[in-house]
Amino acid sequence: MKVSPNGQLLGTVVAVQANFYKVQLDVGNQEINFPLGSSFLLCTRRTRLKKIGQQVMVGDRVVIEEPDWSGGRGAIADVIPRQTQLDRPPIANTNQILLVFAVADPPLEPYQLSRFLIKAESTELDVFLCLNKSDLVSLEVKEEISDRLLAWGYQPLFISVKNEMNIDQVAKYLNNKITVIAGPSGVGKSSLINALIPNANLRVGEVSGKLARGRHTTRHVELFELPHGGLLADTPGFNQPDLDCTPEELVHYFPEVKQRLAVGNCRFSDCLHRDEPDCVVRGDWERYQHYLEFLDEAIARQTQLHQQADPESNMKLKSKGKGQSQYEPKLESKKYRRVSRKTQLQALQDLYQESED
Ligand X SMILES: Nc1nc2c(ncn2[C@@H]2O[C@H](COP(=O)(O)OP(=O)(O)OP(=O)(O)O)[C@@H](O)[C@H]2O)c(=O)[nH]1
Q: Which residues are annotated as a binding site?
A: 132-135, 183-191, 266, 271, 273, 279
> Using CB distances below 5 to 8 A depending on partner kind, what does residue 260 bind out of ligand X, Zn ion, Mg ion, none?
none
Q: Which helix (H) or strand (E) holds 14?
A: strand 9-17
- Measured from the Cβ of residue 320, the count of other Cβ atoms closer than 10 Å reads 11
Give binding residues for Zn(2+) as ranges: 266, 271, 273, 279
Cβ atoms of 34 and 50 within 8 Å: the answer is no
By CB under 5 A, name the one of 93, 94, 208, 302 that touches Mg ion: 208
Q: Does residue 207 touch ligand X according to CB under 6 A? A: yes
> Using CB distances below 5 to 8 A depending on partner kind, what does residue 88 bind out of ligand X, Zn ion, Mg ion, none?
none
Residue 59 or 237: the one with the smaller Cβ distance to Mg ion is: 237
Q: Which of residues 251-270 bind Zn ion (CB under 5 A)?
A: 266
- Measured from the Cβ of residue 179, the count of other Cβ atoms closer than 10 Å reads 22
Q: Least Å distance between CB 187 and Mg ion?
A: 9
Q: Which helix (H) or strand (E) holds 306?
A: helix 288-309
Q: Least Å distance between CB 347 and ligand X?
A: 19
Size of the site for ligand X (CB under 6 A): 21
> Using CB distances below 5 to 8 A depending on partner kind, what does residue 133 bind out of Mg ion, Zn ion, ligand X, none?
ligand X
Beta strands in 20-144 (DSSP E): 20-25, 40-45, 61-68, 73-79, 85-87, 90-92, 96-102, 126-132
Q: Does residue 141 touch ligand X according to CB under 6 A? A: no
Q: Can you say whether the dihedral through the CA atoms of 170, 173, 175, 177 is positive or negative?
A: negative
Residue 74 or 236: the one with the smaller Cβ distance to ligand X is: 236
**Rounded distance, CA 222 to CA 232, Å?**
8
Residue 238 or 254: the one with the smaller Cβ distance to Mg ion is: 238
Q: Does residue 132 touch ligand X according to CB under 6 A? A: yes
**Rounded distance, CA 80 to CA 174, Å?**
22
Q: What residue ranges bind ligand X (CB under 6 A)?
A: 132-133, 135-136, 160-162, 185-191, 204-205, 207-209, 236-237
